[in-house]
Structure 1
Amino acid sequence: MRLLDPTPVQTRPRLTRHLRHEANVTWRMLADNLLACLPPPLTFTLAACFRAQLPAHQILWHLGQILLLSLLYAYTFDTSNQARGAEEDRLNKPYRPIPAGLITSAGAMRRFWIAMPLYTLLGWQLGVVEWVLLWQAAIILINLVSTPRSYLLCKTPSMVMGTVAQLCGAWQAVSPIDTTVTQWITIITIVYALALLFEDIRDMEGDRAIGRRTPALVLGAWPIRIWFASLMLITPPLFHFSLYAPTSAAPWRIAVCDLALAATCWTSAVRGLLLRHTRADRVTYQLYMASYVVALLAGPVLWF
């Protein structure tokens, strides 16, 4: 006897279309920031697992939890950011879902307010709710409270809060944060939050159009390029002496970490000074974010 499917025939295609639509919207929304939002916390979580000498099945469980937490970390930021930045995105990033006509600014904000309590609930479940609340406060400050003229004062504090929340949450979901981990988080956060000023060079046209005051527009592109390159040049030796060398890892492991970080940091420094157009700056920014991942990848390499 043939069992009847209780689901209406038209419901399934409609649900499939909706899921595909949401997947497309989410991909377009998160694509620019995935390198900053997914590999770093996953890498730092892996470092915490190795340092705690956890078995493989527990490592996979923690990585799966942090992956979901990190997706919500990115989603809450990008929905609120792009809801307010539609005019800018039409000039700088027309492939994003609002300028592409896939959703409206109101639709992005609805997604934001749905995701926020889910993010809080997951943070509470993982025992990292304080870091989730810190990032949510940073999001509200930079994306909902700040104006184009106050953006200059709000961005760096917000990004410091975001980096601390990202790394502390990734580690604390596995084990307590001790003085060694605090030193790693502090130094990495300061360096990469200060170097993040380079991000605004990519978007000067759109920022100028909406009257946003960014360091690149207030100070000029060249001072920001020099600032960025200087930070990238000193980062490998700084991290070697303050983070990598004090570990008990074998010298060859430390050397591998030093070389990988120097390759990404110094290449991005040279590109930032010599290749000065929008497309090149976008690649340089992604390489800068790759150096952030490499800096954190030293954790699992050194503590394995």
Structure 2
Amino acid sequence: MLQIIAMKPFDALPAPSEAPTASPRSVASCASDTDSDVDLAPQSPVGVLDARLPEKVVLNRVQGECALFVFLLKDNLNAGATPVVVMYLATASATTGATLSGTVAAAMMGLLYLSMFDLVNQWSGVEEDMVDKPWRPIPRGLMSVRGCKIRCGLVAIACLAASYFYSLLIPCMLCFLATFGYSVGWDKNCIFRGFVFMPMVFMIHFQVSMRLALGPSSDSRALLHWAVTFAAYYSIPFLLQDLRDLEGDAKGGRRTLPVLLGARNFRATLFVLLAVLSPPGFYRLLGALVAQQASLALVCALWNSLFLIAILYMLATGDCVKAHRLAYKLVVFMYTFGTGPCLYFIVPSVLAS
């Protein structure tokens, strides 16, 4: 019920032609009746209760919007917003010192960028979501496409304001470019989706957390080079999200790699790519740390290897949608809780190199 109430401001506004009309005679009659009631009858308890109803409606609408955004964000929260907080805490703890205000800012920026992308993703992918993610707000009837676009506009304004306040111009531009690509259908192309959009997401996460933790020092050329390697490496395992969404992508006309190659061939290809590219990828990511503290680099490599082995196992044995979703969750956990905490050791070593 709360969700339905929350939809009314954005999702059920009447068109101008549908607005109720009344004749001047009826309006005058109604006004005169109201005046006579006020003059002759004392205020009743029912009238007092009715006066409080608008406050109740506003509260219900706020609660409904909060519930709606939980449905909206829950699929991508760990992949879209949590990494910003983890990366900030790891980096700031090792350098300038983590603060509550910085943590709140990291969480807020992650949620704002994620909200804007997810809103665009929802209205541009309704057909696929009906198959792959029927629990989302639009397939469930909790939000209309029109209401989704209105909310997206409001979130975009908030993103611009917050990005200006925290000097996050580049991440903001990347976020708007990525969401624009989804809004015009570029995500139906596997090259854009896998090798343009996803690296943008990784760069957004990294640059937001570094700016909040390091300030102007985040403009270091060494950090930028490391971030490029980081984004390039994680573009490979995150291709698993296309395997998870194979059925809906095929129905919606998205030309993703699993659709083009078939699920079995794609799993085999991704298994080989991860097995071959991960050792040199780890070495590049940990290169500065290896030169300064080889033992810590070994610990970071072993920690991330545990996730990698589990992912490879799921690719080798999993042949159903449930297994594909589990494999993708492992990729998200590796990204967020595998490499993210290791920035505590990596970032200072990169800055010192």
User: Normalization by structure 1: what TM-score?
Assistant: 0.88
1:135 aligns with 2:175: yes
1:285 aligns with 2:285: no
In the other structure, the counterpart of 1:257 is 300
Listed as ranges, the matches of 1:44-59 within 5 Å are 44-54=87-97, 56=98, 59=99
User: Aligned match of 1:84 in 108, 124, 128?
Assistant: 124
- SS of structure 2 residue aligned to 1:102: coil
Distance 1:290 1:235 in 2: 19
In the other structure, the counterpart of 2:37 is none
- SS of structure 2 residue aligned to 1:94: coil
Letter in 1 for 2:86: T
Distance 2:220 2:347 in 1: 15
Q: RMSD value over aligned CA atoms?
A: 2.4
Superposed CA offset, 1:267-292 (max 9, x none): 01110221111111111101111111
- SS of structure 1 residue aligned to 2:255: coil
Distance 1:22 1:15 in 2: 11
Q: 1:245 to 1:137 in 2, by over 3 A?
A: closer
Q: 1:177 to 1:265 in 2, by over 3 A?
A: farther
In terms of mean alpha carbon deviation, does 213-222 or 116-125 score higher? 213-222
User: Aligned match of 2:200 in 148, 154, 161?
Assistant: 161
In the other structure, the counterpart of 1:189 is 231
Query: How many equivalent pairs are there?
Result: 295
In the other structure, the counterpart of 1:215 is 257
In the other structure, the counterpart of 1:31 is 74
5+ residue gaps, structure 2, are 1-47, 349-353
Distance 1:49 1:179 in 2: 19
In terms of mean alpha carbon deviation, does 157-166 or 127-136 score higher? 157-166
Superposed CA offset, 1:72-122 (max 9, x none): 111001001011211211111111011111111111111111111210111
Letter in 2 for 1:300: Y
- SS of structure 2 residue aligned to 1:98: helix
User: Normalization by structure 2: what TM-score?
Assistant: 0.77
Distance 1:147 1:256 in 2: 40
Q: Larger radius of gyration, structure 1 or 2?
A: 2
1:267 aligns with 2:305: no
Q: 1:13 to 1:238 in 2, by over 3 A?
A: farther
In terms of mean alpha carbon deviation, does 258-267 or 214-223 score higher? 214-223
Distance 2:222 2:273 in 1: 23
Superposed CA offset, 1:104-141 (max 9, x none): 11111111111112101111110112211111111101
Superposed CA offset, 1:243-300 (max 9, x none): 3352276555333322220111110111022111111111110111111111121012
In the other structure, the counterpart of 1:300 is 344
Deviation at 1:163, TM superposition (A): 1.7
Distance 1:299 1:81 in 2: 30
5+ residue gaps, structure 1, are none
Q: 1:240 to 1:209 in 2, by over 3 A?
A: closer
In the other structure, the counterpart of 2:190 is 152
Identity of aligned residues (%): 22
- SS of structure 1 residue aligned to 2:142: coil
User: Aligned match of 1:101 in 134, 137, 141?
Assistant: 141
Distance 2:248 2:333 in 1: 25
1:170 aligns with 2:209: yes
Letter in 1 for 2:279: P
Q: Which runs of 4+ in 1 moved over 6 A?
A: none
Letter in 2 for 1:297: P
